[in-house]
Amino acid sequence: MSVLTTAPDDAAEAPTNAPARPAYKVTGRRVLSSEWAKLWTLRSTWITLGLALLFLIAFGLIASSRYKSNLNSGHMHGDLAHATAVSLSLFGTHFAQLALGVLGVLVTAGEYSTGMIRSTLAAVPRRLPVLWSKSAVYGLVAFVVATLGALVTFGIGSGIVSGTPAAMTFSDAGVVRSLLGAGLYLGLVGVIGTALGALLRSVAGGISVLVAALMLIPGLVELLPTSWQDNISPYLPSNAGESIFALTHDATTLSPGAGLLVFLGWTVLALAAAAYRLVRSDV
């Protein structure tokens, strides 16, 4: 006599489907994290940030050393006669702004030149969070690097000019505000660079407009009649930005607060134009 045994029905019914993959939502934090990772994987990020820091420190210390040597020789150059430790330390700001602005253009326009922007926008269909995240991440990085460079340069440069008419310390009125203002200005220059890159979608075009806005247009305005210069010059991006970190002001320049508002206005205008094109165009 044989005995037939059968397995229980529930044992026979083994699961055949793997667990469903969890759905990932596109959130602001994840977009920020993605842009942060992409920024630091670029070799140009490290090189350009290093150049910006080098420009700030090297040119600031060179200006401080030149002031000290000319003072001792008795042949003080006209531009240095009324210099302070702050103005000498921030001498490299004009060079650092180009490096940080150019990198800002590369952050956005670089993706268009390589075609990577298609993958980015496919992952973030709403598009605008990409622009906000790129601008916020790079603007913060540029601000930190620039502020660090300004503080380090002043710390060393103030020692070089110690005992001279330009001597100042961190405790003097307006010094910390000027150094932080320089960092803020350079950080916003980086944001404008990202906006121009997203607006023009061309590395060469973005850099050209950036250089024109910060350097060429102020020079052309100086060719206008004096009355026109007084009405136009203070509101140009570079001049308004310089008033943010200038230690002293006169009737032809804006106050630090007014300069910050004007420069923020230029920054918002560039971002708004970039956002409009990003939303309205296909890629």
Q: Distance of CA 7 to CAs 4, 10, 14, 16, Å?
A: 10, 8, 12, 18
pLDDT score of 10 more than 90: no
> Is the pLDDT higher at 267 or at 24?
267
Residue 157 lies in a domain: yes
Section 172-194 average pLDDT:
95
Query: How far apart, in whole angstroms, are the C-alpha atoms of residue 87 and residue 100?
Result: 20
Structural domain contains residue 271: yes
Q: What is the pLDDT of residues 196-242, one digit of tens each?
A: 999 999 999 999 999 999 999 988 988 888 888 888 999 999 999 99
Q: Longest C-alpha distance within the chain, in Å?
A: 124
pLDDT at 11: 46
Residue 14 lies in a domain: no
Residue 185 pLDDT exceeds 90: yes
Phi/psi for 186 (5° steps) reads: -70, -35
Say whether pLDDT at 186 is over 90: yes
Tally of structural domains, the chain? 1
Average pLDDT of 239-267? 91
Task: Write the CB contacts of 153 (distance below 8 Å, at least 6 apart in sequence).
Answer: 56, 57, 60, 61, 89, 90, 92
Quote the pLDDT of residue 115.
Answer: 84
Residue 3 falls within a domain, yes or no?
no
Question: Which two three-digit tokens encode residue 252?
Answer: 């032809």
Helices (H), the chain: 9-12, 28-41, 43-73, 85-89, 93-114, 117-123, 128-160, 175-200, 203-211, 217-221, 226-232, 237-245, 256-280
Q: Is the pLDDT of residue 2 over 50?
A: no
- Domain assignment present for 96: yes
Condensed to tens digits (0 to 9), the pLDDT of residues 32-41 reads 888 999 999 9
The pTM for the full model equals: 0.87
Residues spanned by the domain of 233: 27-280
Residue 282: which pLDDT band, with cuts at 50, 70 and 90? low
What pLDDT, in 10s, does the model give residues 64-115? Answer: 998 888 877 766 666 677 789 999 999 999 999 999 999 999 999 998 888 8
Q: Is residue 6 part of a domain?
A: no
Residue 23 has pLDDT above 90, yes or no: no
Question: What's the pLDDT score for residue 46?
Answer: 94
Quick one: pLDDT at residue 113?
Answer: 86
